[in-house]
Homo-oligomer: A and B are copies of this chain.
Amino acid sequence: MADVRAQRSTTSQPPVRLTPMEVPKASDVLAHDLRERILNGEFTEGVPLPPERELVIQTQMSRTTVREALRILEVQGLVKIKTGRSGGAYVQRPDGASVASSVSLLIRGQQVRLADLLETREAIEPFCASLAARNRTDADLARLDGANKMIADTDATLARFLQSNVDWHVAVAAASHNEILTGLMTALSRAIYAATENEQFIDTEVRRTTVRAHRSITDAIRAGDPDAAVRRMNRHVHTYAEAILKVEQRTKIAVPEEN
């Protein structure tokens, strides 16, 4: 090791300034490189990355490191790892699900108040309904109708009712054809489901009101009437929120894990 002070004495110039150096981990470097290649389209969707042992040869890294890199990409939703022969890391593009899961973590981690959840839905969903009225396809309408049919079953358990409820709301978001909004609504709906399941918020009257509101909003979406859709959705989620909050007294929210 050369002595730094010796260098200093040989020059009158101020010492070189160095920024606090970054020492990236090998697996991060590899993950980063692969991620860039995937996002740049060098690896197209559906094709498998080279096998781990092949990557070991190419990168001169150990298999441990290679595997950690692949694991990172898997968590980020950029590859899907399959086992067995002709398994491997298959490239996929991240979809709304990854957004939904990170939003779920955000919600669960912050111990968010139920009021915040409902507020957020009030912000987002009317806009979704408006977009849905403009962009919906026949397939979207079919999905909405299906959810309406499911939820109309008055004999269903609470869990089934809430599930159809979620399905309908997610279907509205999907009909907006905006991936981000769809991801957000998926996460929000799931969280609200969980929060309202624990309490006995939902009585027969709420069920009937909900079914009617969904029908009416679906009609507006089918008719391609954004203004009506926005207005009705606004009223629906607001009414729902008020009903819930009237019952709720500082309830702790517990969002179930997805998968």
Contact = CB atoms under 8 A, between A and B. Distances in A.
Interface of A: 27, 32, 35-36, 38-39, 41, 64, 67-68, 71-72, 75-78, 93-96, 98-99, 101-103, 105-112, 116-117, 119-120, 122-124, 127-128, 131, 178-181, 183-184, 257
A108 B32 CA distance: 14
A126 to B, nearest CB: 8
Contacts of A76: 75, 101-102, 105
Contact of A178 (B101, B120, B128, B257): B120
A75 B28 CA distance: 11
Contact of A72 (B71, B95, B124): B71
A95 B116 contact: no
Contact of A106 (B27, B67, B96, B131): B96
A41 B108 CA distance: 10
A106 B120 CA distance: 18
A55 B196 CA distance: 36
Contacts of A96: 106
Number of copies: 2
24 contacts: A32-B257, A64-B64, A64-B67, A71-B71, A71-B72, A75-B75, A77-B105, A78-B109, A93-B109, A93-B110, A94-B102, A94-B109, A95-B111, A98-B106, A99-B99, A103-B180, A103-B184, A106-B180, A112-B179, A116-B180, A119-B178, A120-B178, A120-B180, A184-B184
A78 B109 CA distance: 9
Contacts of A99: 99, 102-103, 106
Contacts of A101: 76, 102
Contacts of A106: 94-96, 98-99, 179-180, 183
A120 B173 CA distance: 12
A117 B179 CA distance: 9
Contact of A127 (B64, B93, B103, B123): B123
Given A77-B102, A78-B105, A184-B184, 20 more contacts: A27-B71, A36-B257, A77-B105, A78-B109, A93-B110, A94-B102, A94-B111, A95-B111, A98-B102, A99-B103, A101-B102, A106-B179, A110-B179, A116-B178, A116-B181, A119-B127, A119-B181, A122-B127, A123-B127, A123-B128
Nearest to A32: B257
B179 A108 contact: no
A172 B131 CA distance: 25
A108 B180 CA distance: 10
